[in-house]
A and B are shown apart, each in its own frame.
Chain A
């Protein structure tokens, strides 16, 4: 049991995944064929013994709410625990105003009633495995006001652009928070994951709301760097931030490598998701598949190479899928050739025979599209 409640936060306006974001929030993005991004922070929390989780949602929340349901599939005790979906209702259709602080303020009554003395906040657009109970322990031992998780990224010129960067002193104290503009190779990327006492959290949220109606939680943390004892804890293992279309594509591709995937997945740390009760995947006599991640419920007669194929996809005879991410229930028709593409959910490609992007600019095929 963990003495903290969890908050899974939605993405800020700096996360822009063109195409996919038109239909759902980042937490509901299909990932590696089987998951949605939010499965990762939620599973991390429940595996850490957190059984009271507040999930904040803003726009286009239908698919996310459908996926979360009662939260039972995340292994939360159905009586003592709770997965709570909290909307942001500012009445304003402007992302600048609909930030996390607005969500926390709108639901302050709920937050103040919680019994747990600590809160652990994690974002819904970052993928990693982490034991939050050890995070809380470290925080309590150190006596810090706030502890933040960061990852040392050595490809910061190309990845995690616009993510927060922690400037740390030797004792891992957070001196200031910058943006990653891609100027340096190695940076301490903030994982937007925090632990602090509930009381401090509530104070900071109120302070942020009083300071500016445009302030998000990150902004107030940044302001408080000199006032509060804020420390960084380094995360090791697989880490990815999905904040644009390229990072979405690249992260899926990266995890096709089994060795790499084993840095994220572990037998004793399951990532839960909503079951779809699909049958196992069927391969037929003409199938030719290698170096790929394939989810249940597919029917494969064509060629698949270096790709991720989501639940319930149909890859017909003569079809060739290479270097692509095919979301659940898509159909790749006979002799269709797809390369370097992200095919969104339920898209059907049958007539147009060549759907070819390139490695630098993968294509996006819209949800439900018929080509």
Chain B
């Protein structure tokens, strides 16, 4: 398919420091989710499924793994002649020294030349750390129908939680008249999802001005959007219905995994019309031994389970030995759980060994325990 006239740019520099050991060596977009995915598979698959052929991924924090992961664009089918996934870490330029991206807007500003090579009419700005399924082509149609300068995807949130988000106040035609970052007394419940479509010509001009503005924090939410509103540009809200999650903490990462266990859950990863693509690993199917018991769980290929698994998500190649119990937990790839070990309400990081008989986590704990080292 010839490329449409929109390029996507995924902001993937997030540290995710509240995910502690999980993001010590990898950026948040590369964190595992849902038994076989990494979080960034969601925006990338959404792009592929929406017919967006060229995607820039802006990386910064601990980017080695993330860079190599996304550069294999074939995983998302983005390796045809007219398409590609481009890794864009900060770079030294002829007229500028190597500097970090100073903010979300600056990351795009520093890659104006990259976007220009596609000569797009529109640019889609996405975050690499959100879990959701969305058809950006529909959002673009909405953008065009509104004759907008910019369109911002918004999620209706419960009014009592609205003060935790960036809130868009709109008129009856859904044109945005005001943007408030974490308002104490919210006037609306439409939270910005950090998903923007801009007319490139206009955004390009604004980014150039923003780069040289010493007052600016170079952020879309704090600088670019308020400035556009102040200049009377046409900004529209695009209401999103469906599952959306920003997993900022261990507890919320765990919860998002647990959301998958209920039947007919909103994310519906089994939907054949909107698959989420990821790395293809060559492992056996998963094996359940003679003593295995499994209910309400999600298991990926390569696992060997001979214990009791309940209310849990097991990633690739997890081994659960006889008489071991895994309850309400997320077990990341290559974890080995020894005979008789018990795990409750925990996230066990990749490759960790839980020795036979060890007990990890507490069924009554308020918070989820993160296990990132061998437990003896």
A is bound by B: yes
A contacts, CB < 8 Å to B = 32-34, 72-73, 256, 258, 261, 265, 270-273, 275, 277-297, 299
Q: How many Å lie between the Cα of A287 and that of B310 in the bound state?
A: 11
Given A285-B296, A289-B294, A296-B300, answer yes or no on A280-B36 (Cβ-Cβ < 8 Å). Answer: yes
Choose among B35, B295, B296 the residue that contacts A279 (Cβ–Cβ < 8 A). B35
Given A34-B285, A73-B280, answer yes or no on A284-B263 (Cβ-Cβ < 8 Å). Answer: yes
**Chain A: CB-nearest residue to B76:** A277
**Chain A: CB-nearest residue to B261:** A282
Does the CB pair A299–B286 fall under 8 Å? no
Choose among A270, A290, A297 the residue that contacts B288 (Cβ–Cβ < 8 A). A290
**Chain B: CB-nearest residue to A274:** B280
Choose among B260, B280, B290, B297 the residue that contacts A275 (Cβ–Cβ < 8 A). B280
Given A261-B287, A270-B282, A271-B282, answer yes or no on A283-B301 (Cβ-Cβ < 8 Å). Answer: no
Minimum C-beta distance from B325 to chain A (A): 15
Q: Which residues of A contact B283 (CB under 8 A)?
A: 270
Does the CB pair B284–A265 fall under 8 Å? yes
Does the CB pair B299–A290 fall under 8 Å? no
In this assembly, does B161 line the interface, its C-beta being within 8 Å of a C-beta of chain A? no
Q: How many Å lie between the Cα of A16 and that of B251 in the bound state?
A: 56
Per DSSP, chain B at the interface is loop
Does the CB pair A279–B269 fall under 8 Å? yes
Minimum C-beta distance from B273 to chain A (A): 12
Interface centre among A33, A271, A291, A297 (most CB of B within 10 A): A291
Q: Which residues of A contact B297 (CB under 8 A)?
A: 282-283
A-B contact count (CB 8 A): 102
Does the CB pair B294–A280 fall under 8 Å? no
Q: How many Å lie between the Cα of A32 and that of B286 in the bound state?
A: 10
Does the CB pair B286–A281 fall under 8 Å? yes
Choose among B36, B74, B284 the residue that contacts A34 (Cβ–Cβ < 8 A). B284
Choose among A282, A291, A295 the residue that contacts B285 (Cβ–Cβ < 8 A). A295
In this assembly, does B289 line the interface, its C-beta being within 8 Å of a C-beta of chain A? yes
Does the CB pair B35–A280 fall under 8 Å? yes
A273-B282, A293-B287, A295-B301 are known contacts; what are 7 more A-B pairs with Cβ within 8 Å? A34-B285, A261-B284, A271-B282, A291-B292, A294-B288, A296-B36, A296-B301
Q: Which residues of B contact A271 (CB under 8 A)?
A: 282
Does the CB pair A290–B292 fall under 8 Å? yes
In this assembly, does B42 line the interface, its C-beta being within 8 Å of a C-beta of chain A? no
In this assembly, does B119 line the interface, its C-beta being within 8 Å of a C-beta of chain A? no
Choose among B269, B277, B286, B291 the residue that contacts A290 (Cβ–Cβ < 8 A). B291
In this assembly, does B270 line the interface, its C-beta being within 8 Å of a C-beta of chain A? yes
Given A33-B285, A271-B282, A277-B277, answer yes or no on A284-B290 (Cβ-Cβ < 8 Å). Answer: no
Would you list 5 pairs from A and B whose C-beta atoms are within 8 A, ordered by A residue?
Answer: A258-B289, A280-B301, A282-B260, A290-B288, A290-B290
